[in-house]
């Protein structure tokens, strides 16, 4: 009887362990990218998508930009600042190359690129406009208050930080490209988009997966 009881106890322990492992695996399959997804992969999908429905920004011509302005077209969001020495200009140039290739191919929708400045003190509308015109005149520059920018980035499960010390300004900001579908939902992000060939391949694959007809 003791041997039977020990065997039954061992069997129950194994079943409990298997259930626990299954539970943890299920949690992982539904977790957002900021928790468990391997950031080494280029494309990280949001499950479920994040709806962007509460923000108010302004473009470089002082026109307001609301969540409704994301409706009806794919968008790519990039957060940065004009004084960024390397990451922002590199990513913007790579992104414009990729979008130009998509436009020339003509078989997939071309997302609208939005460059959102997280340095409202130094990035005036006119300065941001001149900065983007040097890179590509079809990129829309957006600005907002620190509170609005924080809210939007927190919605995307990200953040930024600006520190000032001895006259020097240090800016820490997210570097991924956030992809927003025509319903105004962020469906994922490209985590290290500095390689044009890899970014093009990944973006094309995502757009083809959703099989949205090319916009006219």
Same domain, 114 and 9: no
- What would the two tokens of residue 18 be? 């298997």
Q: What is the pLDDT of residue 167?
A: 80
CATH code of 173's domain? 3.40.30.10
Q: What is the pLDDT of residue 15?
A: 36
Same domain, 103 and 149: yes
Does a structural domain hold residue 7? yes
Comparing 51 with 2, the larger pLDDT belongs to 51
Q: How far apart are CA 199 and CA 211, in angstroms?
A: 18
Average pLDDT score over residue span 172-194? 96
Same domain, 87 and 3: no
Does a structural domain hold residue 193? yes
Does a structural domain hold residue 25? yes
- For the beta carbon of residue 117, count every other beta carbon within 10 angstroms: 29
Same domain, 19 and 66: no
Same domain, 47 and 154: yes
Same domain, 26 and 41: no
Structural domain harbouring 133: 35-210
Q: What is the pLDDT of residue 183?
A: 96
SS3 letters for the chain?
Answer: CHHHHHHHHHHHHHHHHHHHHHHHHHHHHHCCCCCCCCCCCCEEEEEEEEECCCCCEEECCCCEECHHHHCCCCEEEEEECCCCCCHHHHHHHHHHHHHHHHHHHCCCCCCEEEEEECCCCCCCHHHHHHHHHCCCCCCEEEECCHHHHHHHHHHCCCCCEEEEECCEEEEECCCCEEEECCCCEEEEEECCCCCHHHHHHHHHHHHHHHCCCCCC
Same domain, 7 and 73: no
Does a structural domain hold residue 59? yes
Q: What is the pLDDT of residue 176?
A: 96
Same domain, 133 and 176: yes
Q: How many independent structural domains does the chain possess?
A: 2
Q: What is the pLDDT of residue 7?
A: 46
Reported as a single tens digit per residue, the pLDDT across 99-132 is: 999 999 999 999 999 999 999 889 999 999 999 9
Flag the least confident range among 83-87, 180-184, 208-212. 208-212
Q: What is the pLDDT of residue 87?
A: 94
Reported as a single tens digit per residue, the pLDDT across 21-40 is: 332 233 333 333 443 344 56
Does a structural domain hold residue 215? no
Average pLDDT score over residue span 178-186? 97
Comparing 19 with 82, the larger pLDDT belongs to 82
Q: How far apart are CA 37 and CA 67, in angstroms?
A: 27
Same domain, 126 and 143: yes
Same domain, 109 and 130: yes
201-212 in b/e form (b: 16+ CB < 10 A) is: ebbbebbeeeee
């Amino acid at each position: 009887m003791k041997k039977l009881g020990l065997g039954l106890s061992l069997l129950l322990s194994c079943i409990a362990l298997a259930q626990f492992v299954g539970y943890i695996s299920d949690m992982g399959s539904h977790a957002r990218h900021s928790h468990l997804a391997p950031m080494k992969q280029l494309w990280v999908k949001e499950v479920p998508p994040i709806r962007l429905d509460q923000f108010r920004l302004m473009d470089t011509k002082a026109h307001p930009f609301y969540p409704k302005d994301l409706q009806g077209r794919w968008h790519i969001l990039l957060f940065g600042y004009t004084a960024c020495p390397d990451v922002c200009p590199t990513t913007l140039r790579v992104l414009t190359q990729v979008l130009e290739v998509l436009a020339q191919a003509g078989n997939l929708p071309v997302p609208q690129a939005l460059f959102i400045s997280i340095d409202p003190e130094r990035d005036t509308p006119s300065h941001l406009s001149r900065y983007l015109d040097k890179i590509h005149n079809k990129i829309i520059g957006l600005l907002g208050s620190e509170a609005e920018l924080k809210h939007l980035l927190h919605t995307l499960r990200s953040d930024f930080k600006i520190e000032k010390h001895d006259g020097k300004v240090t800016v820490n900001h997210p570097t991924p490209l956030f992809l927003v579908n025509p319903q105004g939902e962020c469906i994922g992000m490209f985590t290290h988009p500095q390689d044009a060939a890899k970014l093009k391949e990944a973006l094309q694959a995502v757009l083809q997966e959703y099989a949205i007809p090319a916009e006219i």
